[in-house]
Amino acid sequence: MRIQTSPEMPIRISPQAKVLPANTLRFYIHFPRPGEAHFDRDQLWLLDEEDQVVPDPFLVLSQELWSRDGRRLTVLMEPGRIKRGLGADPAHEPALVVGRTYSLVITALGQTARHTFRVGDPVLEAIDEAAWRIVRPNAGSLDPAVVNFGRVMDAALCDDEIRVVSASGAVVPTRASLSSDGTALQLIPSQPWGAGEYRLVVSDRLEDVCGNRLGEALDHELGAAGRPRTGRIGFTPGRANARLNHDARRERILDVAQGVFLEAGFAKASMTTIANRLGGSKGTLYHYFNSKDELFTAYVERRCLWRDDEVFNLPPGVTPELALHQIARSFLAHAVDETIVRNFRLIVAEAERTPEVSHLFYEAGPRRSTLRLAEFLSSLDAQGVLVLEGDALGAAQHLLALVQSATFKGRLCNTIPALTPAEIDAEAARGVKAFLRAYGSHRQGANRRRDAVPAYAVQ
């Protein structure tokens, strides 16, 4: 009998941001299994736009920097080629030139991994936690607390050097997940958030990808050095069961803002136009929202919260298979809805010029919904209905891809007409069927349980 084996996970390079600062200090190479015996420094390259090897970009050490499990290799850039004021020696010319595109390439374990990125301006300032923006979760939920750093952070250090503590000083168990662009951290609790105050406690070892710390920039003028320090920043979860602010005036502002944003785009929309359509003054508008960015964020969050509440509103006693089908159908119906599609086009059009806006949309919309779906799938895994092998987030991403892949891009590009309810239902059923083939408990010969979905699974 021929035994089938799963393909090996690919080697991964981080940070995965598409734009990295010119003074980026380190990269990480993540191996699917211990890779020290299989790594050859001569098989690691930095290539320029013409796929030519950049000479000597990396710091060569007598001993490579491997994690304890042998699965993560730290690669440091040559400091002499990222720090300022070291003279005109060719050895001190920058390895990464602002505006150019490079690729980090490694060959090992019979595979080749490549990450291509554009180089942005260097980040020369120390980290200041006062500039971070926290998207607070709701009390009683398992929603993540999201920390937006405004710069690309070191993923490994974010895992190790940021903790959440309660008002009593007890450490709150959370799982850290840094966004692919490295600028936002999700802190996902193992238990629902309480109603009290929490604090992020940051160690003095936290760094961004350029080696800057709280209170100290890596590349500083002589005599101007700061000292690394710890940091604290507080947040209080929103009120439980009060996901939306139903102030009628505020809702009216968001309704009008939606029309202006969709017609003019984010960049051309103005607070004056929105105020004129409201028939009031800009003073009234600024009473509710301090800026256009804040107004747009509130609009996006409202749309996403409405969608989540509708998608996960399951009737009591529904079986897991029917619950999956209803969730998939609701997700698809929202994804191909004309207003949602227009919103998506708007965000994509502004992504290059205002990446912070597209990031807000992604965190409040697709990312939050996927995490909530993963939470639901995890409950089915605990029941024995699904076999997720510890990767509920990956399973959620697969389900959404199976359900939306045939139609969403066509709607986004305006190449297919709006779907009928029957077509939405058929696509959802097809996606769920394929998903259960891959993740159903029958894969390991277990008896599939058909108990009703517990109430906590969809809260």
Would you kindly state where each structural domain of the chain is located, as residue ranges? 12-120, 129-235, 302-458
For residues 343 and 299, the answer to whether their CB atoms sit within 8 Å is no
CATH code for the structural domain at 302-458: 1.10.357.10
| pLDDT for position 225 | 58
| pLDDT for position 365 | 73
227 vs 350, higher pLDDT? 227
| pLDDT for position 26 | 92
Q: Cα separation of 181 and 145, whole Å?
A: 17
| pLDDT for position 382 | 86
Number of alpha helices (DSSP H) and beta strands (DSSP E) in the chain = 12, 16
Q: Is the pLDDT of residue 409 over 90?
A: no
| Contact partners, residue 65, CB within 8 Å, separation at least 6 | 73, 74, 75, 76
Sheet holding 133-135, edge to edge: 133-135, 145-148, 184-189, 174-178
Q: What is the mean pLDDT of residues 258-272?
A: 83
Helix or strand holding residue 361 (H, E): helix 355-362
Q: Is the pLDDT of residue 411 over 60?
A: yes
Q: What is the mean pLDDT of residues 23-38?
A: 90
Average pLDDT, the chain: 81
Predicted TM-score (pTM) of this structure: 0.52
335 vs 314, higher pLDDT? 335
Q: Cα separation of 435 and 283, whole Å?
A: 51
Q: Cα separation of 262 and 245, whole Å?
A: 22
List, for residues 148-178, the tens digit of each pLDDT value.
898 999 988 998 999 999 998 899 999 888 8
In CATH, which of 2.60.40.10, 3.40.50.10170, 2.60.40.1220, 3.40.50.300 is domain 129-235? 2.60.40.1220
Domain 12-120 in CATH 2.60.40.1220? The answer is yes
Comparing CA positions, the residue from 198, 63, 43, 178 lying closest to residue 109 is 43
Q: Cα separation of 355 and 362, whole Å?
A: 10
265 vs 274, higher pLDDT? 274
List, for residues 112-136, the tens digit of each pLDDT value.
999 999 999 999 999 999 999 888 8
Range 451-456 contact pairs with CB under 8 angstroms and sequence separation of 24 or more: 451/319, 451/320, 451/383, 452/316, 452/317, 452/318, 452/319, 453/314, 453/318, 453/319, 453/320, 453/323, 453/379, 453/380, 454/379, 454/383, 455/316, 456/379
For residues 198 and 164, the answer to whether their CB atoms sit within 8 Å is yes
For residues 123 and 24, the answer to whether their CB atoms sit within 8 Å is no
Label residue 458 by pLDDT band (50, 70, 90): very low
Angle in degrees, CA 384, 385, 390, rounded to 5: 65
| pLDDT for position 48 | 95
Selection from 74-78, 325-329, 335-339 with the highest mean pLDDT: 74-78
Q: Is the pLDDT of residue 242 over 50?
A: no
φ, ψ (nearest 5 deg) of residue 6:
-75, 145
| pLDDT for position 459 | 37
| pLDDT for position 456 | 32
Q: Cα separation of 66 and 75, whole Å?
A: 9
| pLDDT for position 102 | 96
Q: Of 2-6, 74-78, 111-115, where does mean pLDDT reach its minimum?
A: 2-6
Label residue 319 by pLDDT band (50, 70, 90): confident
Q: Is the pLDDT of residue 257 over 60?
A: yes
CA atoms within 13 A on the CB side of 77: 25
| pLDDT for position 310 | 58
List, for residues 136-145, the tens digit of each pLDDT value.
888 877 778 8
Intrachain domains 12-120 and 129-235 with the same fold: yes
Q: What is the mean pLDDT of residues 66-70?
A: 91
Task: Count CB-CB contacts under 10 A for residue 318.
Answer: 15
| Contact partners, residue 269, CB within 8 Å, separation at least 6 | 257, 260, 261, 263, 292
List, for residues 434-455, the tens digit of each pLDDT value.
999 999 876 544 444 444 444 3
308 vs 355, higher pLDDT? 355
Torsion (CA) 345, 333, 423, 440 in degrees, nearest 10: 110
Q: What is the mean pLDDT of residues 366-384?
A: 85
φ, ψ (nearest 5 deg) of residue 352:
-70, -40
Tokens for 297, please give them: 């964020």
Q: What is the mean pLDDT of residues 392-411?
A: 89
Q: What is the mean pLDDT of residues 182-197?
A: 86
Q: What is the mean pLDDT of residues 252-264?
A: 84
List, for residues 212-225, the tens digit of each pLDDT value.
999 999 876 655 55
Q: Is the pLDDT of residue 38 over 70?
A: yes
CA atoms within 13 A on the CB side of 226: 17
| pLDDT for position 53 | 95
Q: Is the pLDDT of residue 301 over 90?
A: no
